[in-house]
Amino acid sequence: MHPTEVNPNAGNWLGLWTLYSREVRRFLKVYTQTLLAPLVTTLLFLAVFSLALGRSVEQIGSIPFLEFLAPGLVMMAITQNAFANTSSSILIAKVQGNIVDTLMPPLTAHELTFAFAMGGTTRGLVIGALIVAVMSLFVPMGMENAALVLYHGFMGALMLSLFGVVGGVWSVKFDHIAAVTNFVVTPLSFLSGTFYSIERLPELGKFLAHLNPFFYMIDGFRAGFIGHADSNILTGILVMAGVNTFLWILSYRMFKTGYKLKA
């Protein structure tokens, strides 16, 4: 092969790294909006629940209420910001008409999916680490199982980052992605057991909660901190892996076919 030729089977590592770096620099450049704002919002959630409930709810089972609540708030911030990163990046590029600059380089559909998804995942994990560090000044954030925290933190961020890719590609205008946020992401987040234990729900409520993949994400992440889960941990691990596999394939197919990306 001629030295100037590129082996298509080797992968475009430089292009992949460049696109991923662009996605990371994109949110770091406006860190007050993408990092500090979610930190303040999450701390406000913690303060409001602490002040509003006072001593009326001291424990969830045998776990102090704030220690039960804190991991859920962290996970919610991780996932919502991972989703926002990828969905906004793709949709803005489409609306401004410069998505072609991303599609023209010799990147495969898998490489495009990986770069966008990892960019959103990175933002989610950075925010999560930042919130845990600051929140631990106010609430004990002991870690019972670091592997569970890392697995569910990464897989949760990846899941919403991939969902952001799907939402961003599907959306034609900002109203569309706002609808996905308001009618899918936010309801599933709030009904995932973030603020309560599903053990307090009636049987129908428990059944519906177990159909929500966000529940396994929150429950497994929380279990890594407090050592208690409301569901089978292995089931949650497999559900997260299955949902992410499905979303990865869907994202890949969207890039591969140029769905709503190519005129």
Domain membership of residue 4 (yes or no) is no
User: pLDDT value at position 1?
Assistant: 40
148 closest CA partner among 222, 90, 209: 222
Within 10 angstroms of residue 217's Cβ, the number of other Cβ atoms is 31
- Residue 78: strand, helix, or coil: helix
CB environment 240-253: b (16+ within 10 A), e (fewer): beebbeebbebbbe
pTM of the model: 0.92
User: pLDDT value at position 254?
Assistant: 96
Number of independent structural domains in the chain: 1
76 closest CA partner among 38, 40, 49: 38
Domain membership of residue 6 (yes or no) is no
Structure tokens at 99: 């998505």
User: pLDDT value at position 53?
Assistant: 67
User: What residue numbers bound the domain in which 30 lies?
Assistant: 13-257
User: pLDDT value at position 3?
Assistant: 39
Mean pLDDT score across all residues of the chain: 90
**Position 7 pLDDT exceeds 70:** no
Domain membership of residue 33 (yes or no) is yes
Domain membership of residue 1 (yes or no) is no
> Which tens digits make up the pLDDT trace of 70-85?
999 999 999 999 999 9
Mean pLDDT within 114-120: 97
Domain membership of residue 262 (yes or no) is no
**Longest CA–CA separation in the chain, Å:** 74
Domain membership of residue 155 (yes or no) is yes
Angle between helices 37-53 and 65-96 (to 10 degrees): 150
The partner residues of 59 in beta bridges, in order of sequence, read 64
DSSP H or E run through 22: helix 13-29
Structure tokens at 21: 């770096």
Domain membership of residue 5 (yes or no) is no
> Which tens digits make up the pLDDT trace of 153-185?
999 999 999 999 999 999 999 999 999 999 999
Domain membership of residue 157 (yes or no) is yes
Running DSSP on this structure, what letter comes out for residue 139? S
> Which tens digits make up the pLDDT trace of 40-70?
999 999 988 877 765 666 677 778 888 889 9
User: pLDDT value at position 198?
Assistant: 86
